[in-house]
């Protein structure tokens, strides 16, 4: 995309958010969309009907409809790696053969879960899932959001290579009653393989006779898993065309499938499939992920906002911001387009956020009075996730809605500038009927498609992540070659600190 369409949008009149509803009375109806259990409200952003129309033209110019067809038809849209991006096939939407193959692999997972539940692995109470990035963030989000009182298994998800993480997780586990799920698309990721090896050691020390017999591999590289020592019957494969950060729908979601129960896992997939159909079929002016991408593009690329804040006013969604950090920043944090040319201006904003109301007492000062304009997204659920006094949920929601209103409206105070609020600060709100598997499936799929739509508008390939490779390579060379060839600062750090890591 050249800067021209953005310059055209930038030249359009920008409304004053503080009075936007007075100057545009039908705004709320026009700028709210409900898709199943999810209601997306972008009426408190600067977007006007004219801007939306201009973004619609930009989407046409970028062949959004064509690219979307390619996504769902299994075309090789991940051009730098020569692969399709078929996460939607995992939930039943995509090329027929890919959907059939994903279904067969889900059935394989279900059959293995049946064996585990029938105590084919002996009594299992604990599931130790090791993986990192997309092989951990999704399962962690699902279990944290939905598994609080599932009570079926005690599930721990360990990602960091810092042994403290594994040590902490296994403290409460009985090695004899633990199943180890090794989750890695490539089955080569250093952190995961080291955690898996240490978990095997912990099981061995705990008297487990055949620890490898208690390993389930969740991977797109079955050969590597076999090489590592996992029996073929305990490998749950998924397709190479499912990207790591889009993989929670595949066997990477094993902890959720077993921990929440199969019905819940299926509802999650169905919720996502409904969002897939919406994204695929809805006209641009009614297409929630596409419009959300227009909002993102407006703030990141037209107004130059460098960050975007996501605040979940629901404890069950507290891991959503870190999940979205990988989804959005690993997908679109790039400086070249799919054709290799440089992108002008900023691409993905820095996604950050937290949980409300906690964040109000920590970072909201900057949102209200700081010099940065941060477009904020609020998330809330109509239903609470607990049985305490309904006052908890009432206070939670009133705070959420008050923040959006305060950011927008502001308050003048010429006599006391320290107590004045500039206002005019944008926010969008996603209101869920409840935090159910279906709603969470729809929500995550909404963000996936929004990320894709952003990429199409910028001409980026959102499905590769070469930016993470250089650091990995250098870490390996420190392992093998020590300090030679490094700058003095890096050399000094290695020499000073690594003696204790031998
Ligand atoms: O380092 C980035 C990354 O490749 C992510 O994209 C991925 O989710 C993560 O590492 C883990 O990779 P794997 O599932 O192959 O272990």
Condensed to tens digits (0 to 9), the pLDDT of residues 292-315 reads: 999 999 999 999 999 999 999 999
With a CB cutoff of 8 Å and minimum separation 6, the contacts of 271 are 36, 37, 436, 437, 438, 439, 440, 441, 442, 443, 445
Q: Distance from the CA of 413 to the center of ligand 1, in angstroms?
A: 50
To the query of whether residue 330 is one of the catalytic residues in this protein, the response is yes
Residue 245, ligand 1, Cβ within 6 A? yes
pLDDT of residue 355: 98
Q: Which helix (H) or strand (E) is 6 found in, with range? A: helix 3-11
Same domain? For 232 and 320 the reply is no
Q: Distance from the CA of 395 to the center of ligand 1, in angstroms?
A: 39
- Residue 89 included in any domain: no
Last residue of a domain, one of 229, 260, 291: 260
pLDDT class of 399 with cuts at 50, 70, 90: very high
Residue 189, ligand 1, Cβ within 6 A? yes
Distance CA 426, CA 499 (A): 50
Distance CA 16, CA 423 (A): 10
- Residue 478 included in any domain: yes
Same domain? For 103 and 121 the reply is yes
Catalytic residue among 472, 476, 479, 495: 472
Q: Distance from the CA of 158 to the center of ligand 1, in angstroms?
A: 14
Q: Which atom of ligand 1 is nearest to the CA of 472?
A: 1
Structure tokens at 197: 């090896």
Same domain? For 301 and 396 the reply is yes
Residue 177 backbone dihedrals phi, psi, to 5 degrees:
-110, 25
- Residue 204 included in any domain: yes
Distance CA 243, CA 36 (A): 26
Residue of the CA atom closest to atom 6 of ligand 1: 244
pLDDT of residue 141 exceeding 70, the answer is: yes
Pocket test for ligand 1, best of 80, 83, 131, 134 (most atoms within 8 A of CB): 134
pLDDT digits (tens, 9 = 90+) for 3-53: 578 999 999 999 999 999 998 889 999 999 999 999 999 999 999 999 999
Distance CA 412, CA 425 (A): 14
Residue 192, ligand 1, Cβ within 6 A? yes
Same domain? For 306 and 387 the reply is yes
Quick one: CA torsion of 384, 387, 392, 397, rounded to 10 degrees? 10
Catalytic residue among 22, 119, 209, 361: 361
Q: Tally the domains of the chain.
A: 3
Same domain? For 73 and 134 the reply is no
C-alpha distances in Å from residue 66, one per residue of 61, 77, 92: 11, 11, 20
Distance CA 198, CA 215 (A): 13
Percentage of the chain beyond pLDDT 70 is: 98
| CB-CB contact of 46 with 15 (8 Å) | yes
Same domain? For 163 and 212 the reply is yes
Query: What CATH code is carried by the domain that includes residue 206?
Result: 3.40.50.10490
Residue of the CA atom closest to atom 3 of ligand 1: 133
Structure tokens at 254: 């094993």
- Mean predicted confidence (pLDDT) in 384-390: 96
Same domain? For 159 and 239 the reply is yes
| CB-CB contact of 354 with 95 (8 Å) | no
- Residue 85 included in any domain: no
Q: Which residue segment(s) compose the domain that 484 sits in?
A: 468-498
Residue 134, ligand 1, Cβ within 6 A? yes
To the query of whether residue 346 is one of the catalytic residues in this protein, the response is no
- Mean predicted confidence (pLDDT) in 118-124: 95
Q: Distance from the CA of 49 to the center of ligand 1, in angstroms?
A: 40
Q: Is this structure's pTM higher than 0.85?
A: yes
- Residue 371 included in any domain: yes
Same domain? For 237 and 286 the reply is no
Residue 454, ligand 1, Cβ within 6 A? no
With a CB cutoff of 8 Å and minimum separation 6, the contacts of 387 are none
Catalytic residue among 191, 328, 330, 438: 330
| CB-CB contact of 262 with 432 (8 Å) | no
pLDDT digits (tens, 9 = 90+) for 92-116: 999 999 999 999 999 999 999 999 9
Structure tokens at 31: 């700028």
To the query of whether residue 472 is one of the catalytic residues in this protein, the response is yes
- Residue 12 included in any domain: yes
Same domain? For 68 and 104 the reply is no
- Residue 86 included in any domain: no
Same domain? For 110 and 253 the reply is yes
- Residue 171 included in any domain: yes
Same domain? For 287 and 387 the reply is yes
Residue 218, ligand 1, Cβ within 6 A? no
| CB-CB contact of 157 with 140 (8 Å) | yes
Residue 443 backbone dihedrals phi, psi, to 5 degrees:
-65, -45
Q: What angle do CA 447, 451, 454 make, to 5 degrees?
A: 135
| CB-CB contact of 332 with 460 (8 Å) | yes
Same domain? For 106 and 231 the reply is yes
* Alpha-carbon dihedral sign for residues 44, 45, 51, 54: negative
Quick one: CA torsion of 117, 122, 126, 131, rounded to 10 degrees? -90
């Amino acid at each position: 995309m050249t800067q021209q369409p953005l310059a055209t949008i930038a030249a359009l009149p920008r409304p004053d958010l503080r009075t936007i509803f007075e100057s545009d009375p039908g705004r709320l109806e026009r700028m709210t969309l409900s898709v199943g259990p999810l209601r997306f409200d972008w009426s408190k952003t600067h977007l006007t009907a004219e801007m939306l129309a201009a973004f619609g033209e930009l989407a046409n110019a970028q062949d959004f409809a064509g690219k979307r067809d390619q996504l769902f038809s299994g075309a090789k849209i991940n051009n730098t790696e020569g692969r399709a991006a078929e996460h939607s096939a995992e939930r039943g939407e995509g090329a027929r053969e890919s959907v059939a193959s994903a279904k067969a692999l889900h059935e394989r997972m279900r059959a293995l879960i049946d064996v585990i539940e029938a105590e084919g692995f002996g009594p299992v109470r604990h599931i130790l899932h090791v993986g990192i990035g997309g092989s951990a963030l999704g399962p962690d989000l699902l279990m944290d959001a939905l598994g609080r009182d599932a009570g079926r298994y005690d599930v721990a998800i360990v990602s960091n290579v810092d042994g403290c993480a594994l040590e902490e997780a296994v403290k409460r586990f009985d090695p004899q009653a633990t199943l180890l799920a090794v989750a890695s698309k490539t089955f080569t990721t250093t952190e995961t393989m080291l955690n898996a090896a240490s978990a095997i050691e912990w099981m061995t020390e705990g008297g487990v006779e055949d620890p490898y017999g208690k390993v389930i591999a969740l991977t797109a590289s079955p050969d590597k898993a076999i090489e590592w020592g996992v029996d073929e019957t305990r490998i749950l494969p998924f397709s190479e065309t499912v990207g790591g950060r889009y993989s929670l729908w595949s066997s990477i979601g094993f902890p959720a499938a077993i921990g929440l129960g199969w019905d819940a896992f299926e509802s999650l997939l169905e919720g996502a499939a409904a969002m897939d159909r919406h994204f695929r079929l809805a006209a641009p002016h009614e297409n929630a992920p596409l419009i959300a991408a227009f909002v993102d593009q407006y703030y990141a690329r037209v107004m130059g906002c460098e960050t975007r804040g996501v605040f979940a006013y629901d404890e069950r969604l507290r891991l959503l911001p870190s999940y979205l950090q990988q989804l959005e920043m690993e997908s679109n944090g790039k400086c070249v387009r799919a054709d290799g040319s440089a992108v002008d201006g900023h691409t993905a904003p820095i996604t950050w956020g937290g949980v409300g109301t906690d964040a109000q007492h920590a970072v909201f000062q900057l949102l209200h009075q700081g010099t940065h304009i941060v477009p904020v997204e609020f998330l809330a659920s109509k239903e609470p996730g607990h049985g305490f006094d309904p006052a908890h949920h009432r206070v939670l929601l009133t705070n959420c809605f008050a923040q959006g209103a305060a950011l927008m409206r502001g308050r003048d105070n010429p006599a006391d500038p320290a107590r004045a609020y500039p206002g005019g600060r944008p926010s969008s709100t996603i209101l869920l009927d409840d935090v159910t598997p279906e709603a969470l499936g729809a929500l995550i799929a909404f963000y996936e498609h929004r990320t894709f739509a952003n990429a199409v508008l910028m001409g980026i390939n959102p499905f590769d992540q070469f930016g993470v490779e250089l650091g990995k390579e250098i870490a390996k060379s420190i392992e093998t070659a020590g300090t030679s060839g490094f700058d003095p600062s890096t050399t000094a750090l290695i020499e000073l600190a690594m003696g204790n890591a031998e």
